[in-house]
Structure 1
């Protein structure tokens, strides 16, 4: 085989064999296929697409490129949960402990902040002393004993995805459903769980722009999961407005602790319960996560997980030295809050990274005072900005004030979960 032959086959809209995909990926990782040829193939995939058989072959080849976590020592059906990323999305910190409190084994490998979306690992690391770097033996022991561990992925898992993503990022080949689906699912399959719940977001604050594209990605990922022997369910959820009231690392950990106690934003609690119920179903656990909220078992499980990973909540979560409220300039009802604008503002405050080497400010972020549907008068606070300086607040102020859209009539919150996708179809 040679790269020109493989590239031209996809350029002409023909289907690859699994052997061709294996060869291309292997040759690229060995350096025998240069970046410019791999970039040409990626662009051909973007334009021509891939069949489900091709996408499954690519996913399986990516999994084979590195280590696969062996979780057989953990009893029961192991369930992983993944979100495609959003603003204020701390559902993992709520749903996963609730499922674990019900008896589900939750081995979760998570990521860091990407662009304007927050990362679960950065949120957890805002807890003093906490580590997300767990070796496999410690990870497995913690899941066996507590029911849950949330850790960073080993660099030896799916190295092909890391190499391909870096190239896609600089060659305008990110927005391809087969490439996105294989990237996500190769990591989930390598993580070793028996079943996977996917939270696929769409809207201003997400990477998928609308419901049809989110549904298409969901179907692709469910098929890949099932094809690899993992029972997989996807929920399509809205991300036009931020989820919950807090955006930022320590702020979101505190909101998760409050939600696990049944306090705070009702939409956040409800979507977390929905995800946790799906996790219970896949694990064949006949318990309602709502009971774990009422009893406090979900919060207790989360606190035990934090402690097992070295976290010390008694030391207190980081607090920003500057907290300034931004006020409404007029009267009305909050029709929408631009999740992308809010995410970019939190990024500028230091809650995320502009560059890979940037340090995250664990205390920085935003606390929404006027959510969608709220009635506000001129001078009422819309949001409290948590920052390390007043100058930073001034920097993000114009963007944030434009993010709130007020109208004269009453507003109902739009539905959050729009569709459910499994191997049988979409409901």
Structure 2
């Protein structure tokens, strides 16, 4: 649910008071009305944080299965399966986050519907193993559950918020129709699996575009930027966990300690650099740059590449440990590419979404794509993981020097 509201609700000031922690009284039920887009101190709620933590379980499962598939040499199958499963996780998370930014009432019905969505996400996580084997029944069941719970929320918003009723009903109808098609897809022959998946993804993307063209919802740019930043942190944390477990297993398998320590340091520098580069500029600065639906769609949808590549970096680091301990079917170059490709995708995605090729600060406008190309080239040289870490850290240094003294809009 993406869009840009041109006007605020007439009850904006009153609703901001009712929805803020200081002005909120404990009620089991309150009308679901749009939040004030200018509300101050709009922060993520404990329920949203729980949502993130539960959904990252599915991210971890998908990354683990990607590691298993790539380690056995099934590169094409592993990458494709990961991309498809990750879509289910990411799209469910994205739609909840944007809806909550505009309509969070935090009453009992809202909490119960959100908990059902979390149950759907955990069901998706439980079906990841089967999905990598070609059976998507459990993933689809979980995905449909979380999406239909979102429909309940939209129907409630339509009934209780007349000013957004048309938009809310458009969401409810569009989501429901696409869920029916996801279920029907399970009956299609395997030869149509990929084509039908791509068609349904486009239909999912089209629902917010069509719904928000009626009347934009009142999502909060600072809140959305924080939500995306928090999920980025969680995914990077999952990457650190995967790499740490890989080093531990490598030590247990008798791999050379010096090599593993060196690789662990390089991985840590790489993750730290990714964190720095993503958070160097506040995300809301791009979201508030123009009142356009295209801005919201490109920024919100584009984070699929940021989240997915960040998760894949952990898999690549695990494979690098496997390579050093002789527990993978991949060769040296293929193992290096498992790290360098997602890092390059991450840098290019952050560049496009947070920096922009026409940025007035030319060192970073040029530095991000140049660093991405150099990192890809490092795949074919000696010590590619270490060189990748050095290049990423070097880009951090460039951004620090080039942007010294700049102030970002608050």
Relative to its length, the structure with more helix (as a share) is 2
Same fold (TM over 0.5): no
**TM-score if structure 1 supplies the norm length?**
0.27
Greater share of strand = 1
Q: Normalising to structure 2: TM-score of the pair?
A: 0.27
